[in-house]
Amino acid sequence: MRRIKALRCRECGSEYPIEPLHVCEYCFGPLEVEYDYDALSKLVTHESIAKGPTSLWRYYDLLPVDSPLHECVDLGGGFTPLVEATRLGEKLGVRRLYIKNDTVNPTWSFKDRVVSVAVTKAKEFGFDTVACASTGNLANSLAAHAAKVGMRCFVFVPADIELSKVVGSLVYGPQLVAVEGNYDEVNRLCVEVASRFGWAFVNINIRPYYSEGSKTIALEVLEQLNWKAPEHIVVPVASGSLLTKVWKGIKECYRIGLIESVRTKVHGAQPSGCAPVVNAFKLGASMPKPVKPQTIVKSLAIGNPADGIYALRAIRESGGVAEEVTDEEVVEAIKLLAETEGIWAETAGGVTIAVLKKLIRQGIIKRDELTVALVTGSGIKTSEVVCESLREPIRIQPRLKAFEEALQKLQL
Amino acid sequence: MAVRRYHLTFPKELVTEPVIYYLGKDFNVITNIRRANVDQDGGWVDLEIEGDEEEIERAVESLKRKGVGVDPIERQVIE
Ligand SMILES: Cc1ncc(COP(=O)(O)O)c(C=O)c1O
Ligand SMILES: [Zn+2]
C-alpha cells in the first residue's frame, strides 16, 4: 500500500514527485510531504503502533521513508519519557501538567528525531554526503547519525565561533568548515553549496522530509496520554518547523482515527531577544518580520524563520497564543524545572517553562486543564547560563562540629 | 549565467521606491517576481535574479546598501 503521495507546495498546491526538492518552481513556496490518508487509516491503529520499536520509528507508517524498518537510520532517538510534573505543577498552580523530556535523546535534543528521518531519506536518495550549517544541536545530531551509517559529513559554522563550542559535533568526526564571513554571508553560502553540490543539506534540500521527523514528538505525547489530546501544548519556536509539525501530527492522528477530537491549543514560545513569531502574533500580522537575534537562547536564535508564517498559522488555527520571555526568566525557569522535577533543560527548555508559567498566570492555561510542555534539549550543553546563579557551596574544616555549625546557619 | 532566488524584506521607507525596476536598469540582470506582499508598513518580495554571478552579487550589494533585507528564499538555514 502506498502511504506517501507526493510533495505539495504549501502556497499554490503544485505537486512534485518524492525527490530531493524543497522549493516550488512556480511560486517559490516550500514543499511538504502529503500522505494517502485513506491508506493510512486502514494501515495504522493503536495496536499496530504499540507493536513497533521503542524509538521514533514506531511511527514509521507516518514518516516519509520507503526503506524497510531495519534499514532506517536509528541511534535510538525518540520514545522519551512523558513525566507527570506534580511538583512543578504545584508551584505554578496547575494540577495536570506533563513534561515531555526530550533531553534524553542520543545527542541530548529533539533534533535526533528530524535527523534520523533526514539521514534515512538521504541514504534512500543515494546521497553519500550529508551537511548542515549549525553551531549546536543540529550539528551534534547530524554528525552522530552520519557516523552511525558511515556517511561523509560537513558542518558549516561562522569562523568566529570558539572551537570548544563545537566539540559535541567534532567528536563524531565530521569535516568542520569555518566560513570567514558575517552571518548573512555564511547563510547564503550554505544555500549555494546545497544547490551546487550533490549533497544532502538536511535542513535545506531535504527539509520536507527532515521536518516530518518533528511530528513524532507529538505522536508520542498522544500515545503516552492513551491517545487523548491534551488541552494545551507549549512548544519552543526557532525556524517554526517543530511547532508546525506538532500541529500537523495532531491533525493527522485525528484524520486517521487515532484520536477522537482535536482540541489542543498549540502555544509558541520564544525569547524576547529573538521573537519574530511572537511579534507578528501580537500585531495580528500574517508574516513575521525578520529580527537580529540578541539572546542567550542560541538554539532559538533564528531571526528570519523558514516556517515562521506556518507556525503563526498553526498557533492561530489551534486557538493558541505566542508569548515571549526575557533571558532572566529563562534562567529562572531552567532552575525551577531542575529543582522541582530533576530535569536539566537547555535554554530552549527554559523558554518553554517560562512561557508556560506566564500563560498560567495570564489565565490562558487553567488549573485543571491537561497541559504538556516540550523540553527539547539538555542543559548540559548550555551550563554556562546557570552557573552564576546557583546555590553557593559552604566551605568547612574537616570536623563534625564545623559541619554542624554550618548546617545550623543554613537553616535548610 | 546563474539563477538565484531571494526573499527580500522592504522597510517602510522603501515601499514607494521602484527598487526592483532599478535593479534591472543599473545591473545586467533579469528580475522575476514570484510572490509578494507589500503595504504601507513595508513588505516582502520573493524574487528570482538571473545573470552573471558577479553581476548578481553587485545587484544584491546595492539592495543591501539601500536597506533591503536580502535572504535566500530558504530564509535562515544556520541553526
Ligand atoms: C533544543 C531546541 N528546541 C527547539 C528548537 C526549535 O525548532 P524549530 O527550528 O523546528 O522551530 C530547536 C532548534 O532550532 C532546538 O535546538
Ligand atoms: Zn507553489
3-state secondary structure at position A279: helix
Strands B2-10 and B69-72: antiparallel
Q: Whose CA is nearest to atom 9 of ligand 1?
A: A239
Per-residue pLDDT tens over the stretch B6-47:
999 999 999 999 999 999 999 999 999 999 999 888 899 999
Residue A319, sorted as left (phi over 0), alpha (psi -120 to 50) or beta, turns out to be left
pLDDT at A184 over 90: no
Q: Ligand 1 pocket, A376 CB below 6 A?
A: yes
C-alpha cell at A139: 550539528
C-alpha cell at A97: 501538567
Ligand nearest to the CA of A26: 2
DSSP letters for A324-376:
EE-HHHHHHHHHHHHHHHS--B-HHHHHHHHHHHHHHHTTSS-TTS-EEEEE-
Q: Which of A140, A201, A304, A381 to mutate to test the interface with B (most CBs of B within 10 A)?
A: A304
In which band, very low, low, confident or very high, does the pLDDT at A161 lie, cut at 50, 70 and 90? confident
Whole-Å CA distances, A379 to A29, A125, A224, A338, A375? 35, 35, 24, 9, 10
* Number of domains, chain B: 1
Q: What is the pLDDT of residue A1?
A: 67
> Which atom of ligand 1 is the closest one to the Cα of A237?
11
Ligand 2 centroid to Cα of residue A248, in Å, is 19
CATH number for the domain harbouring residue B21:
3.30.70.260
Helix axes A111-125, A137-149, angle to 10 degrees: 40
C-alpha cell at A332: 529562572
pLDDT at A124 over 70: yes
Per-residue pLDDT tens over the stretch A239-288:
999 999 999 999 999 999 999 999 999 999 999 999 999 999 999 999 99
**Among chain B residues, CA nearest to A26:** B34
Nearest 5°: the CA angle A69, A73, A79 is: 80
B39 with B79: CB under 8 angstroms?
A: no
In which band, very low, low, confident or very high, does the pLDDT at A2 lie, cut at 50, 70 and 90? confident
On whether residue B54 sits in a domain, the answer given is yes
**Contact (CB<8Å) A304/B75:** yes
Alpha-carbon span A330 to B20, nearest angstrom: 42
C-alpha cell at A224: 503516552
Domain carrying residue B14: 2-72
3-state secondary structure at position A378: strand
Ligand nearest to the CA of A15: 2
Alpha-carbon span B77 to A304, nearest angstrom: 9
Per-residue pLDDT tens over the stretch A359-410:
999 999 999 999 999 999 999 999 999 998 899 899 999 999 999 999 999 8
Helix axes B53-66, B19-26, angle to 10 degrees: 140
pLDDT at A412 over 80: no
Q: What is the pLDDT of residue A125?
A: 98
* C-alpha count within 13 angstroms, C-beta hemisphere, residue A412: 7
A334 CA to chain B: closest CA distance, Å? 21
Alpha-carbon span B69 to A271, nearest angstrom: 22
Mean pLDDT along residues B57-79: 96
Stretch (H or E) spanning A16: strand A15-16
DSSP 8-state symbol, A370: -
pLDDT at A17 over 80: yes
On whether residue B34 sits in a domain, the answer given is yes
Ligand 2 centroid to Cα of residue A25, in Å, is 7
On whether residue B77 sits in a domain, the answer given is no
On whether residue B78 sits in a domain, the answer given is no
Mean pLDDT along residues A217-238: 98
Alpha-carbon span A31 to A33, nearest angstrom: 7
- Count the neighbouring beta carbons within 10 Å of the beta carbon of residue B55: 16
On whether residue B79 sits in a domain, the answer given is no
Per-residue pLDDT tens over the stretch A330-360:
999 999 999 999 999 999 999 999 999 999 9
In which band, very low, low, confident or very high, does the pLDDT at A77 lie, cut at 50, 70 and 90? very high
Strands (DSSP E) along A59-164, which ranges?
82-84, 97-101, 129-133, 152-158
